[in-house]
A and B are shown apart, each in its own frame.
With several copies, the nearest count.
Chain A
Amino acid sequence: MQVDITSNDANTTVAPTGDVDLSVSRDLQSALKKVMDDKPERVIVDLSGVPYMDSSGVATLVEAMQISRKQATRLVLCGMQEKVRSIFEIARLDKVFTIVDDPATADSA
């Protein structure tokens, strides 16, 4: 897994690429924490490059959501592949997160 971070104006996009499982979820966790430290208006997690995620990856996103709520950062997930979406649905987290299909519309979500 690799994590790309890009910022423009008020938005920061975090884009992991590759499977997110227990062996790398800590890397995603620290990337998200670091990004949240800057208290941007909006953090967009672009998951279009993630074919697989297990519950350790989901846990890092739940943690980021909790941080975001404390500091009024808006957290948006986008570009989820079908397999990754299914884990959010099974965990009933698809209604807890703000999830949009298209990375292009995440800026205004």
Chain B
Amino acid sequence: MSESPDHPQIAAPPSLTDLGEPLVRVEMRSQPRLLAGTRELVGAIAKRLGFSELEAGQIGLALDEALANVIRHGYKGRDDGLIMVSLWVSEGDGSTVGAGLHLCVEDQCPQVDPSKIRSRELSEVRPGGLGVHLIQEIMDASVFEKREQSGMRLRMSKFIPHNAGTMTGSVRHAG
């Protein structure tokens, strides 16, 4: 998958069984006008988790690319397809899963060979062919797979570096 040496994908995303019930689930029609809402939902939650403004925006971008691919390649531009996005937050407290944000994108499209889902080589500059690469560079772990019944699934995770932040506020005194 042409991973760059400085961004090795060390970990696999946790299994759906390990993750349990999602915190948030979004079911959306396969329409480009809905991309902004869904990526902003995930970006806002990422920020609350302690990811930086830039990282939260990038996580939103990774999701946007995944959804856009389902709309373009999976549903071929049909606007009444269903896309399911699930989101989990792991606190990393003693469980097998480190602290992080986990996303799962599922569709009801014809299944394809997951190994065919890959971007162009970065050196072969042409319009397009970047989405999967962006997903892989931004997220710490990602995997495309066939769903049990029908459709495709993308699972992806981004872990929180050290104790990056808190879910609540902080008070600073001066003067």
Query: Are A and B a genuine interacting pair, yes or no?
Result: yes
List chain A positions with a Cβ less than 8 A from chain B: 1-8, 16, 18-19, 21-24, 27-28, 30-31, 52, 54-56, 58-60, 62-63, 66, 82-83, 86-87, 90-93, 96
For B72, give its contact among A21, A22, A93 (CB under 8 Å): A22
> What residues of chain A lie closer than 8 Å to B126, measured between beta carbons?
62, 66
CB distance from B13 to the nearest CB of A (A): 20
| Contact B175 A22, beta carbon cutoff 8 Å | no
B74 sits at the interface (CB 8 A): no
A8 nearest CB across to chain B (Å): 6
| 16 CB < 8 A contacts A-B | A3-B170, A19-B36, A21-B32, A21-B36, A22-B32, A23-B32, A27-B168, A27-B169, A52-B61, A54-B61, A55-B128, A56-B68, A83-B57, A83-B58, A86-B54, A91-B122
Q: What total count of A-B pairs have CB within 8 Å? A: 100
Q: Are A4 and B172 in contact (CB under 8 A)?
A: yes
Minimal Cβ-Cβ distance residue in B for A12: B175
Within 46-84 of B, Cβ neighbours of A (below 8 Å) are at 48, 54, 57-58, 60-61, 64-65, 68, 71-72
Looking at chain B's contact residues, the main secondary structure is helix
Which residues does chain A contribute within 8 Å of B32, judged by CB atoms? 21-23
Partner of A55, one of B36, B134, B170, B175: B134
Which of A1, A5, A28, A96 sits near B125, CB closer than 8 Å?
A96
Interface centre among A52, A54, A66, A82 (most CB of B within 10 A): A54
B170 touches A90 (CB 8 A): no
Q: Given the complex, which residues of A lie within 8 Å of B145, measured CB to CB?
A: none
Please, which residues of chain A bring their CB within 8 A of the CB of B64? Answer: 21-22, 54
Q: Check B162 for interface membership: any CB of A closer than 8 A.
A: no
The reply to whether A63 and B127 contact each other, CB–CB distance below 8 Å, is: yes
Interface of A is mostly: mixed
Across the interface, do A55 and B130 meet the contact criterion of CB distance under 8 Å?
Answer: yes
User: Bound complex: CA of A11 vs CA of B61, how far in Å?
Assistant: 32
When C-beta atoms are compared, the residue in chain B nearest to A62 turns out to be B127
Chain A residue, CB-CB nearest to B171: A3
A residues near B36, Cβ cutoff 8 Å? 19, 21, 23
Instruction: Give the distance in Å from the alpha carbon of A87 to the alpha carbon of B138 in the complex.
Output: 10
B127 touches A3 (CB 8 A): no
The one of B127, B137, B175 in contact with A60, judged by C-beta atoms closer than 8 angstroms, is B127
